[in-house]
Amino acid sequence: MRADLTDLRLADRVFAPHYAEARTQTALAAGPVFDAPGGVPVSELVPGDTFDLLELSGGMAWGRSLTDGIVGYVAEGLLGEAVAATHIICAREATLGEAPDRNAATLAALPMGSRIAALGERGEFLLTDHGYVAADAVRPVGEPERAEVIAAALRMIGASERTGGRSGAGVDGAGLIFLAHDVAGFAVPRLPDLIAASVSAGGEAAVAGEVVVFADQHLAIMVDAVSAVHVKGRVGRERLSTLIERHGAPVAYGTLD
């Protein structure tokens, strides 16, 4: 909702001068979600994300990402007709090729977190409307697997820190948490304060797969009994004790479901 325009589905709860009926679109390429036209990135769309479009103005689309729930503005050119995704990219980056062959010409690079609509199998590849993707680079959408949270976090080591990022191309602190869970099939909050509020109580000590919230609100994912993956300039793995020295004792740790 905005002061001048609100989703029609909120008409029974919110008064606004104008209402708009959402039109569901699919992201054709990656791009930032801004808090305002010309503003700062608060998240991003990646290929295959769904987006409820409420307004087009000056080349910008205003609406809500159905992948992470963020409301904001995206470039109009990122959006196309709605397509139902079947798989999510779990490799740091997957190649969209013109043929079912690892040596085929590359049509596009799909960062982790992108979604595809598979039309069928061609040997070790999945066919889409736009090309072929290696089957070992994807997971089915909607099949939660707790171990994949750790695996996805580890695959992101070395990726750049990027404001608003939540894909294999780069992440912010909360974006890493969101991405690892999204790839693993778990719907979790996108923003740091909501992540912190949603962490379920852990045991006596944080264990692999749990999210740790430190005293300064820094976030990390435990990948074994003593180390965690987090974002500081780049995605890296450090001992929990080192992170505590830098960011203060954990104020919460546990799973996000």
Q: What is the mean pLDDT of each run of 10 residues along the chain (257 residues)?
A: 89 90 96 95 97 96 97 97 96 96 94 97 94 97 95 98 97 98 96 93 87 96 97 98 96 89
User: Which contacts qualify for 221-226: CB closer than 8 Å, 24 or more apart?
Assistant: 221/149, 221/150, 221/153, 221/176, 221/177, 221/180, 222/253, 223/150, 223/153, 223/154
Is the model's pTM score more than 0.75?
Answer: yes
Q: In what order do the strands lie in the sheet with 227-232?
A: 234-239, 227-232, 219-222, 211-214, 250-254
The confidence score (pLDDT) of residue 2 equals 87
Q: Do 39 and 101 share a structural domain?
A: no
Q: Is residue 1 part of a domain?
A: no
Query: What is the DSSP code (8-state) at residue 147?
Result: H
Using DSSP, state whether 69 is helix, strand or coil.
coil
Q: List Cβ neighbours of 94 (8 Å cut-off, separation of 6 or more).
A: 109, 110, 112, 114, 133, 134, 137, 138
Integer Cα distance of 139 and 108 in angstroms: 19
Is there a single domain that holds both residue 126 and residue 154? no
State which H helix or E strand residue 167 sits in: strand 166-167
Looking at the structure, tell me whether residues 150 and 250 fall in a common domain.
Answer: yes
- Its domain, for residue 134, covers 87-140
- The Cα–Cα gap between 249 and 257 comes to 23
Which CATH number is 179's domain given?
3.90.1720.10
Identify the CATH number of the domain in which residue 128 sits.
2.30.30.40
Q: Which residues contact 179 (CB under 8 A, 6 or more apart)?
A: 112, 113, 152, 156, 166, 167, 168, 171
Instruction: Give the whole-angstrom CA distance, residue 159 versus residue 183.
Output: 16
- Do strands 93-97 and 120-122 pair parallel, antiparallel, or not at all (unpaired)? unpaired
Residue 107 belongs to a domain: yes
For residues 76 and 97, state if they share a domain.
no
Residues 20 and 40 in one domain: yes
Look at residues 37, 60, 81 and tell me which one is the last residue of a structural domain: 81
- On whether residue 114 sits in a domain, the answer given is yes
Q: Rounded to an integer, what distance in angstroms lies between the CA atom of residue 70 and that of residue 174?
A: 13
- Count of domains forming the chain: 3
Structure tokens at 172: 């912010």
* pLDDT score recorded for residue 16: 87
Q: Do 161 and 243 reside in the same domain of the chain?
A: yes
> pLDDT tens across 199-222, in order?
987 778 899 999 999 999 999 999
**Residues 159 and 226 both lie in one domain:** yes
Q: Determine the Cα–Cα distance for residues 145 and 90; give it in Å rounded to an integer.
A: 12
- Indicate whether 216 and 153 sit together in one domain: yes
Domain termination site, one of 41, 58, 81: 81
| Shared-domain flag, residues 193 and 213 | yes
* Residue 26 token pair: 């699919």
pLDDT tens for 56-74 read 999 999 999 999 999 999 9
Are residue 155 and residue 130 in the same domain, yes or no? no
C-alpha 212/C-alpha 31 separation (Å) is: 28
Q: What confidence score (pLDDT) does residue 168 get?
A: 97
Helices (H), the chain: 146-155, 173-183, 192-198, 240-247
Question: Residue written as tokens 């965690």?
Answer: 228
Residue type, 252: A
